[in-house]
């Protein structure tokens, strides 16, 4: 699909997407509260699924051919697409990235968080928390850039600048953000780094999922034997943060954040605007 042909959403579409966004956010919050040493990633998957269905939605991850779970859980050197399992038991100090999505009335939400499991070695946990913070802060820098962007790669530049300012981290290049709407993955691609092509013009109605994937070492990755899990080649830790964000005529709205992004965007001097 040409980048000029992706679908812009109406205000009514964006309002409808907010329901899916809030269900996604609720699922991730339920997972976050359940993360502790001894819990399995399959238990987290069940918690997320119940949360989404209780809110009238369904997991859009389960609509992906060949994938049968509600979330992806990626631990330590796993970056994205980790498959929940009863054999994957969280340990104190693990760094765990959880990606989730919900569909309600045909509209989609998509978001991810990273959590360091409490109780691990203090030094290791501190390094892992700094990695997670670098990825999360770069996400919000990208969202803030989207609020004022004229071209979509303004987002990628802001993400890259924030990651580089945080330390010597890697940014995945082969896995990027995306448009979102009636499908979980739509055009246009949303890069987390500078590209020669500045991308399409940002216009009201553009809804995207911004998702930096950041490593503590090299950005080189491999796909494991399960044919889903993406892991770092050098064994370095990874973090993944994501939000679904709408740009409309009156401003910006983070659809997968309960407050619309108000708290985190305030330091950038940006106030999100909800549609009603």
61 Cβ neighbours under 8 A, 6+ residues apart: 67, 69, 70, 71, 72, 99, 100, 101, 184
Report the pLDDT value the prediction gives residue 189, as an integer from 0 to 100: 97
Helix (H) / strand (E) element for 1: namely none
116 Cβ neighbours under 8 A, 6+ residues apart: 93, 94, 95, 96, 125, 128, 129, 132
What percentage of the chain reaches a pLDDT higher than 90?
Answer: 97
Report the pLDDT value the prediction gives residue 276, as an integer from 0 to 100: 86
CATH 3.40.50.1820 corresponds to the domain 3-268: no
Report the pLDDT value the prediction gives residue 274, as an integer from 0 to 100: 98
210 Cβ neighbours under 8 A, 6+ residues apart: 139, 142, 143, 146, 155, 159, 177, 190, 192, 242, 243, 245
Distance CA 132, CA 2 (A): 34
Report the pLDDT value the prediction gives residue 1, as an integer from 0 to 100: 33
Buried b (16+ CB within 10 A) or exposed e, 106-130: ebbbbbbbbbbbeebeeeebebbeb
Q: Which residue positions in the chain have pLDDT lower than 70?
A: 1-4
Domain boundaries, the chain: 3-268
- Other Cβ atoms less than 10 A from the Cβ of 4: the count is 9
Report the pLDDT value the prediction gives residue 5, as an integer from 0 to 100: 72
Report the pLDDT value the prediction gives residue 112, as an integer from 0 to 100: 98
- Other Cβ atoms less than 10 A from the Cβ of 143: the count is 25
């Amino acid at each position: 699909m040409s980048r000029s042909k992706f679908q812009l959403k109406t205000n009514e579409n964006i309002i409808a997407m907010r329901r899916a966004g809030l269900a996604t956010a609720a699922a991730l919050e339920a997972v976050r509260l359940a993360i502790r040493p001894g819990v399995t990633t399959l238990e987290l998957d069940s918690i997320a699924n119940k949360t989404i269905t209780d809110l009238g939605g369904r997991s859009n991850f389960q609509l992906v051919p060949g994938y049968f779970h509600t979330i992806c859980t990626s631990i330590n050197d796993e970056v994205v697409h980790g498959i929940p399992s009863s054999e994957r038991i969280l340990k104190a100090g693990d760094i765990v990235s959880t990606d989730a999505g919900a569909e309600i009335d045909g509209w989609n939400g998509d978001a991810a968080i990273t959590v360091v499991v409490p109780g691990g070695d203090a030094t290791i946990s501190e390094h892992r928390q700094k990695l997670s913070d670098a990825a999360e802060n770069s996400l919000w820098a990208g969202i803030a850039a989207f609020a004022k962007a004229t071209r979509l790669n303004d987002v990628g530049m802001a993400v890259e600048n924030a990651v580089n300012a945080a330390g010597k981290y890697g940014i995945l290049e082969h896995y990027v953000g995306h448009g979102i709407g009636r499908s979980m993955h739509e055009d246009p691609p949303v890069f987390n780094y500078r590209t020669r092509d500045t991308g399409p013009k940002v216009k009201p109605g553009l809804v995207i999922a911004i998702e930096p994937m950041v490593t503590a070492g090299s950005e080189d990755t491999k796909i494991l034997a399960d044919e889903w899990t993406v892991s770092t080649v050098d064994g370095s830790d990874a973090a993944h943060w994501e939000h679904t964000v709408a740009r409309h005529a009156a401003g910006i709205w983070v659809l997968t954040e309960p407050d619309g992004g108000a708290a985190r965007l305030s330091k950038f001097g940006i106030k999100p605007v909800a549609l009603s």
